Amino acid sequence: MVDRVLVGKRSTNEFGLFVSKAGFDVTTALESNLLLSTNTSTLQIVDKGVVSPLISEQALVLPDVGFKPFVILNCARYQIGLRYTSNTLAYFRRFSDRGASLNANLYYYVTNLPWG
């Protein structure tokens, strides 16, 4: 079993609090294999928008950040799913309807954090 949590100095000479993904040694893991690092730049929104009207499935072109970015979704009326087909393309899918009186706009926020 590998070490996954560290408070202190990593092999990269960084000091801080670090938590690695399962199977990765926290002392040597790449930044992309860390779940938490106090040295990572803060969460940033790199793109945002509103989709209206929201049809059952539609494409979202993502900014090229070199990986599949984590996307925050918010829609009062529908449950929403997101399926990635590449680092720069994903599809929204509308699921259950929570009620016609609710706002049907989908608000999305693309972050600088990798998905998965």
pLDDT attached to residue 24: 94
pLDDT attached to residue 41: 66
pLDDT attached to residue 86: 96
CB 80 within 8 A of CB 58: no
Whole-model pTM: value is 0.64
From residue 83, give the alpha-carbon distance in Å to each of 2, 52, 53, 88. Answer: 32, 19, 19, 11
pLDDT attached to residue 15: 87
Which residues, given as ranges, of the chain have pLDDT below 50? Answer: none
Residue length, the chain? 116
pLDDT attached to residue 32: 84
pLDDT attached to residue 80: 93
pLDDT attached to residue 42: 61
